Amino acid sequence: MEDNTQGISGDYFSNVSKSDMMRVVLALATEVYAMRDRQAVLEDILLGCDIDLARLDEQVDAAVYDEDRLAERDAFVARVFAAMAGPAR
């Protein structure tokens, strides 16, 4: 059997089906949704303790006008999409 797992330049997923990839995306989406649900509950609990959550919904400028948020954003994008900048051949 041909070994497709070797070599730094190999495509480790050449024989993985797109359907399986989508199953992973779906699983990730369900996890995100569960986290959103827990966050909503947490916010309810905090509100019950008279904690002001208005900052969460305030209108804000784009991150480009906030150095900290901008740096956080660019680092996040670079980390998540790193594979795109140096793709397997």
Partner 1 sequence: MDMRISRKHQARLDLVEGLKVFVAGQLMPTLRQEFEGWCAAEDPSEEQLRNSQFMQATLGANPLYQASRGLQRLSQEAMWQEVIYGLEQRRPDIEEQLDREDQAAGSLTLNPDLMMPDYYDNTEFHLQPGNFHKNTLAGPVYEIGVATYTMHRYGKAGDEMGRALVSVLPDRHCKRVLYMGCGPAYKGYPLIDALPEAEHWGIDLAAPMLKFARHRAIEHEKPMHFSQMNAEEMTFPDGHFDLIYCMLLLHEVPTRAIENIVNEAARVLAPGGVLANLELPSYASLDPLSAFLMDWDTEHNGEPFWRDYHQMDLKQTYRDAGLETKLTEAHSEWGGAKGNYMGKFRYHVTMGRKPEA
Task: Note the residues at the interface with partner 1 (CB under 8 A).
Answer: 55-65, 69, 73-74, 76-78, 81, 84-89
Return d(Cα 81, Cα 71) in angstroms, integer: 15
Q: Which is nearer to partner 1, 1 or 65 (CB)?
A: 65
Cβ closest to partner 1, residue 1 vs residue 68: 68
Instruction: Report d(CA 71, CA 78) in Å as an integer.
Output: 11
Cα distances (Å, whole numbers) of residue 76 to 5, 79, 83 = 28, 5, 13
d(CA 2, CA 49): 61
Q: Which is nearer to partner 1, 2 or 58 (CB)?
A: 58
Q: State in angstroms the smallest separation of the CB of 13 from partner 1.
A: 13
Distance in Å, CB of 1 to partner 1, minimum: 25
